[in-house]
A and B are shown apart, each in its own frame.
Chain A
Amino acid sequence: MDVRGPIQRTTEPTVTGTSVIGIKFNGGVVIAADTLGSYGSLAKHRSLQRLRTVGPHTLIGGSGDYSDFQYIIEQLDAELMEDVHFGDGKALQPREIHQYLGRLLYARRSKVDPLWNQLLVAGVGDKDKQVFLGQVDLYGSVYMDNTMASGFGAYIAQPLLRKAYRADLTEEEAVKVVKDCMRVLFYRDARSLNKIQIGVVTADRISISDPFELDTYWENPMFVNPSLTVKPV
């Protein structure tokens, strides 16, 4: 940073990711995001990885500016590397990563140079096996709940996820709910893509699927023949 030059700060995001959604199930948590990086209204990057593993127990999904998301992943990987070097067998827990991100984003916001993201943090604790799902946004606000959705998902997917959530939800049911929500988001969010990834974390395993295409249905008569929506006078 050149101290003689003008002050530089983030004023708007550049390449952005849309919704990330998540839901807890009995024994773990599922999150999902599409693989689109939008450049304003241009669907520029169609294979972005918006879900990442951070350590052995935590998944992070990033909405908002993709470069800021990459920076955050770098920072988190560095933090987790410290744990590895320390060598005491303990790693940062999902709840701790969530807290850390909350403070990081608040600090940047307080310098009026935000990291323009909404991040979903999902994971299962090491010793306590507690299932965790939380969100942090560019202001430094933090939320934890059984269902979570950022971006457009907050309007469309969140009500669907809340309706579907039960304490005894199985992994298959949770994955199905999430896929259905992503499909609805593809129908309704103009900055989304039907190529998605699903991440699952339980006490024993953590995985992010390869990107796959969601099947969509366009044969609804109203789509095929829009004049059907108009009643004859």
Chain B
Amino acid sequence: SAGMQADAITLQKNLRARLVWYEHQHGKTMSTPAIAQMLGNTLYYKRFFPYYTFNILAGLDNEGRGCVYSYDAIGSHERLAYGTSGSGSVLVQPTLDSQIARKNQVKGKEMPGVNTVDEAVDIIKDVLASAGERDIYTGDTVEIYIMTRDGFRTDVLRLRDD
């Protein structure tokens, strides 16, 4: 969640609690697409006093493939291959459009794209390092969460302390 910290904390607390409710009521963990819908609904519920948050939801779908959902503050969302939000998004989005989607590029067909986990993590680190250089609001440390069907791990990227 990018945006207002107080709202982000409250939103995530709220969702975490609802996840537990779901498990008790349905006897299974909530799937990522289900959480995606729930987040959209939760945000629209406060359509006239919004959670000032710009969210990205990511996980594995029911087929075990990676999925990313991108949101606005009032719950409009779509599933994407990659998403950005926050103050640095204007810097990162074009780079990802170029390196991952490779649409309408002059030498688009020859570009490798992103095919493995490590390539994806590397590209994330590179774009966030760039964002850290130019965006004054991007901080000094990056937390990276990596989810594959083999499991979940975290990584930390230190940026320049400025």
Binding site for B on A (CB under 8 A): 102, 106, 109-110, 139-142
Which residue on B lies nearest to A107, using beta carbons? Answer: B10
List of A residues within 8 angstroms of B5 by Cβ: 139, 141-142
Taking a contact as CB atoms under 8 Å apart, the answer to whether B4 and A106 are in contact is: no
Is B49 at the interface (CB under 8 A from chain A)? yes
Which residue on A lies nearest to B9, using beta carbons? Answer: A142
Which residue on A lies nearest to B13, using beta carbons? Answer: A103
Q: How many residues of B contact A (CB 8 A)?
A: 6
9 A-B pairs with least C-beta separation: A140-B6, A141-B5, A141-B6, A139-B6, A106-B6, A106-B10, A142-B9, A109-B6, A139-B4
List of A residues within 8 angstroms of B9 by Cβ: 102, 106, 140-142
Complex formed: what's the CA distance from A25 to B55 in Å? 37
Smallest CB–CB gap between A111 and chain B, Å?
10
Complex formed: what's the CA distance from A142 to B5 in Å? 8
Binding site for A on B (CB under 8 A): 4-6, 9-10, 49
Q: B4, B6, B49: which has the most chain A beta carbons within 10 Å?
A: B6
List of B residues within 8 angstroms of A109 by Cβ: 6
> Could you name 20 residue pairs across A and B whose Cβ atoms are closer than 8 Å?
A102-B6, A102-B9, A106-B6, A106-B9, A106-B10, A109-B6, A110-B49, A139-B4, A139-B5, A139-B6, A140-B6, A140-B9, A140-B10, A141-B4, A141-B5, A141-B6, A141-B9, A142-B5, A142-B6, A142-B9
Smallest CB–CB gap between B13 and chain A, Å?
9
Smallest CB–CB gap between A81 and chain B, Å?
27
Which residue on A lies nearest to B46, using beta carbons? Answer: A110
Complex formed: what's the CA distance from A174 to B6 in Å? 30
Which residue on A lies nearest to B6, using beta carbons? Answer: A140
Complex formed: what's the CA distance from A216 to B4 in Å? 40
Smallest CB–CB gap between A122 and chain B, Å?
20
Smallest CB–CB gap between B120 and chain A, Å?
31
Q: A106-B6, A110-B49, A141-B4 are in contact. List 5 more A-B contacts (CB 8 A).
A: A139-B4, A141-B5, A142-B5, A142-B6, A142-B9
